[in-house]
């Protein structure tokens, strides 16, 4: 008996699915080979120590933002000197302060890891599941192996292995934008509503989510006729966003915690010099580009192709342009801050370039793809091997110094930058920060 058309189609589908899973498995293995080499086992540094302490306060505290100073007290405290403000808020055990005014979603993930007693290396390693999920979202969501390869080889991704919410934001932003692309292409409202939910989760993760919300609003306006976006459609979209936020971070709306977060973001962006680093604009961008030159070359080519054709991937262009403007003042060589826009540029380049390459059976296309893959992964591997995995071992030296000098229960005057690490590892220590221009060594103090 001959094979039926149904059986043939089903067999072809299974082969296709097996092929996709095999390619994804290969991409994931290549990714883990790169990123796991960058995981540090050193004690938690400034941001990480505060984040772990916030997680130690528990789910209820982070969900409700209690304890936390009122909005009025927050506004008055803004006139204090930085060191004095830090001391006052730390004394009040303000959970929002310890989260650095980010949303609580990332800290929900830290809580079980802290509870089971994983060490620093273990916690950082487990959290690699977040960028691994991003690889899956890009690969299966966009059906673009090149976009996934660009993402997994990106310097901003592979070098961001410290505890920080930026990888989680990248995951939600990518998921939201991919669903938005599907909504634009198909006019299926289910994709739009899914995009709204993921945008709400991004809002509960990092403040720069306002760029994602602006992108959704612009695209909704552009597609309003195709989507029949009437008042009821808008009301349901807003209700879905607010409902998701209320479920994940009710204090954002009920206690106006998001106002504090955005006030701090505005202050850092507009009035505080060197808020993210001491590098200049040119130095920061030179470091970003030369740390991953093949990636940026492909992004540039992909952007040129996008500008010539645009098409249904225009939401990625809108988001990237808005985010680059919004983060213009974030001049730093720290890789994680580039996660706000680089993954979306990788996705845009992957989607714009693959159709232009044509079938890989053509020798020219195969050669271009081979060079791109070799250049991307070769550079990523070079950066991983030749750059120090732990360029700042200061935290280990600080913790060792405290133990050696038996200062665990003492009153200590320490450089302001060391306060979070000391506070987390030595909770019974009475601390005061020295925020002078050249802070001296840690020493016992009387206060």
Write the pLDDT tens digit of every residue in 367-403: 767 787 888 899 899 888 877 665 567 778 888 888 8
User: pLDDT, tens digit, for every residue of 296-338?
Assistant: 999 999 999 888 877 789 999 999 999 999 999 888 889 999 9
- Weakest mean pLDDT among 41-55, 206-220, 345-359: 345-359
Are 121 and 39 contacting, i.e. CB atoms less than 8 angstroms apart?
yes
CA torsion 225→226→230→232, rounded to 10°?
Answer: -170
Domain ranges of the chain: 5-38+128-386, 46-123+393-444
Task: Residue 301: name the closest of 254, 253, 354, 371 by CA.
Answer: 354
Give yes or no for a cis peptide into 67 (omega within 30° of 0). yes
Closest CA to 219 of 310, 302, 307: 310
Beta strands in 24-121 (DSSP E): none
Over residues 265-276, mean pLDDT? 77
Structure tokens at 354: 């693959």
Q: Bridge-partner residues for 414, per DSSP? A: 433
The whole-number pLDDT of residue 446 equals: 44
Taking 3-state DSSP, the helix, strand and coil percentages for the chain, each rounded to the nearest 5, stand at: 70, 5, 25
Range with the largest mean pLDDT of 194-208, 284-298, 406-420: 194-208
The average confidence (pLDDT) of the chain is 85
What is this structure's pTM? 0.90
The three-state secondary structure class of 414 is strand
CA distances from 439 to 76, 275, 416, 418 (A): 27, 18, 8, 10
**Residues whose CB falls within 8 Å of the CB of residue 420, separated by 6 or more in sequence, listed in order:** 44, 45, 46, 47, 49, 50, 53
Q: Rounded to 5 degrees, what are φ and ψ at 415? A: -55, 140
Helix (H, G, I), strand (E, B) or coil at 17: helix
Distance CA 75, CA 60 (A): 25
361 in helix, strand or coil?
Answer: coil
Query: What tens digit of pLDDT does each residue of 22-79 get?
Result: 889 999 999 999 999 999 888 898 889 999 999 999 999 999 999 887 776 666 665 5
User: What is the spatial distance between Cα 119 and Cα 124, in angstroms, rounded to a whole number?
Assistant: 9
Residue 1 is predicted with a pLDDT of: 45
């Amino acid at each position: 008996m001959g094979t039926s058309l149904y059986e043939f189609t089903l067999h072809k589908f299974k082969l296709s699915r097996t092929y996709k899973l095999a390619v994804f498995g290969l991409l994931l293995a290549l990714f883990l080979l790169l990123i796991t080499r960058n995981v540090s086992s050193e004690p938690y540094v400034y941001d990480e120590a505060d984040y772990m302490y916030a997680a130690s306060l528990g789910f209820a505290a982070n969900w409700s933002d209690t304890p936390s100073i009122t909005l009025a007290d927050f506004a008055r405290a803004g006139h204090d000197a930085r060191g004095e403000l830090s001391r006052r808020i730390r004394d009040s055990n303000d959970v929002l302060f310890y989260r650095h005014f980010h949303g609580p979603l990332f800290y929900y993930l830290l809580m079980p890891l802290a509870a089971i007693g994983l060490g620093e290396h273990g916690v950082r390693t487990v959290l690699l599941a977040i960028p691994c999920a991003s690889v899956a979202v890009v690969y299966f969501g966009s059906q673009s192996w090149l976009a996934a390869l660009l993402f997994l080889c990106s310097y901003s991704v592979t070098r961001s292995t410290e505890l920080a919410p930026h990888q989680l934001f990248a995951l939600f932003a990518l998921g939201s934008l991919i669903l938005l692309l599907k909504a634009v292409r198909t006019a299926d409202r289910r994709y739009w509503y899914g995009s709204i939910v993921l945008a709400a989760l991004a809002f509960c993760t990092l403040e720069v989510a306002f760029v994602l919300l602006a992108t959704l609003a612009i695209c909704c306006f552009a597609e309003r006729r195709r989507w029949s976006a009437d008042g009821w459609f808008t009301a349901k979209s807003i209700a879905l966003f607010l409902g998701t936020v209320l479920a994940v971070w009710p204090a954002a709306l009920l206690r106006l915690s998001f106002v504090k977060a955005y006030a701090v973001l505005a202050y850092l962006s507009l009035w505080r010099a060197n808020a993210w680093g001491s590098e200049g604009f040119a130095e920061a961008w030179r470091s970003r580009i030369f740390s991953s030159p093949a990636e940026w070359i492909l992004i540039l080519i992909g952007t040129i192709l996008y500008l010539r054709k645009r098409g249904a991937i225009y939401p990625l262009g809108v988001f990237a342009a808005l985010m680059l403007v919004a983060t213009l003042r974030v001049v730093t060589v720290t890789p994680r801050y580039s996660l706000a826009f680089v993954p979306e540029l990788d996705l845009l380049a992957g989607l714009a370039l693959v159709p232009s390459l044509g079938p890989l059976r053509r020798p020219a296309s195969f050669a271009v793809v081979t060079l791109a893959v070799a250049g991307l992964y070769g550079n990523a591997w070079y950066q991983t091997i030749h750059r120090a995995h732990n360029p700042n071992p200061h935290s280990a030296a600080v913790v060792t110094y405290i133990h050696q000098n038996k200062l665990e229960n003492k009153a200590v005057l320490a450089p302001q930058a060391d306060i979070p690490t000391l506070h987390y590892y030595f909770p019974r220590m009475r601390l005061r920060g020295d925020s002078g221009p050249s802070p001296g060594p840690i020493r016992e103090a009387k206060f």
